[in-house]
Structure 1
């Protein structure tokens, strides 16, 4: 009996955002702002805090804060249980904020996609680009 390969793939989306890290951090960690660009949630910026992200499509993601370094790094699990095991996802999302001369380089890496999860992988690629576009709109209209 052979073990299935446990290699996984990552989605990485990077965007230069013309706002300081502190402002971006608020949008990543304040529940009412997270809801505006990502999903409804009961997030708290505390390591070990378990929370849900609730998508407009009715899906619920089970999450737990893994690491937090204010204005620099935020990491949490992003797990989705589905009736069809092919859509089950055990992943980790990590945001990294790096100050630049004109604002912040925001890097999002979502790790944990199995090789057979091509649809979820492609969906995440497209989804994060849409989330980031919404994030920029939220940043533009908040102080």
Structure 2
């Protein structure tokens, strides 16, 4: 619930970004800047941004709010306010079913959390830089389980803001800081990715994923063409051996 007890809306995202409110607003409204944090590298990214942020969004620049259209009886609204250490961003949901934070994985809610944390990454650590991403998603093959376990990560070992070092199953000795965690997601800054971000999402068992499954979104900065190609091939090979066709 929101801080106003008379407000029936649900809080989907509530984070503080260490950047001025004008910069955060610009990152929400300029399609070229939205591409630096929303989604991942795909031919359809530009059209998706247009559909969500332009065609089906109503901005209020004075109030620093963006209201999105209704979907399945729910509608989301981004609200920005100035904070002592930057800008507070909240995504508030009107209508819809109560959010299940620990039970059944739900794409839209978890996607917003991931992407606004990607915005925080871009504005705080990589302003003006171009990213490149690797996205892998699918159902686990029998005996594999969730991506975090398959990689050798234990969620209990990671707390936001703390340094970590992890020898991942696919051969990478990752190190950096824990960026954020949720029940479903573990997000790690990785020095080897140009201080980029690796978000491992465990989606659990469902009719589409009878043995579990999930996704990995890797955001990289400053890698050479050869370095990025090698990283992409390494991850793709590891993923293909353990998970089914990407769900998109």
Q: TM-score range by the shorter chain?
A: 0.5 to 0.7
- Alignment check: 8 A CA contact 2:12 2:113 kept: no
Structure 1: runs of 5 or more not aligned:
1-7, 45-50, 54-60, 80-88
- Alignment check: 8 A CA contact 1:77 1:90 kept: no
Secondary structure at 2:93 match in 1: strand
The offset of 1:36, in angstroms, is 2.5
The residue aligned with 2:126 is: 141
Check if 1:33 corresponds to 2:25: no
The residue aligned with 2:69 is: 77
Distance in 2 (alpha carbons) for counterparts of 1:137 and 1:20: 14
Q: 1:43 to 1:24 in 2, by over 3 A?
A: farther
Query: Computing the radius of gyration over CA atoms, which structure comes out larger, 1 or 2?
Result: 2
The offset of 1:37, in angstroms, is 1.8
How well do the aligned residues superpose, as a CA RMSD in angstroms?
3.4
Q: 1:36 to 1:71 in 2, by over 3 A?
A: farther
The offset of 1:34, in angstroms, is 1.4
Tell me the TM-score normalized by structure 2.
0.37
The residue aligned with 1:129 is: 113
Q: 1:33 to 1:101 in 2, by over 3 A?
A: same
The offset of 1:35, in angstroms, is 2.2
- Structure with more strand by fraction: 1
Q: 2:96 aligns with which of 93, 96, 113?
A: 113
Q: How many residues align?
A: 112
Distance in 1 (alpha carbons) for counterparts of 2:73 and 2:55: 10
- Alignment check: 8 A CA contact 2:9 2:92 kept: no
Higher RCO (CA-CA < 8 Å; seq separation 6+): 1
Alignment of 1:48-127 (within 5 A): 51-53=50-52, 63-70=55-62, 72-77=64-69, 79=71, 89-114=72-97, 122-127=106-111
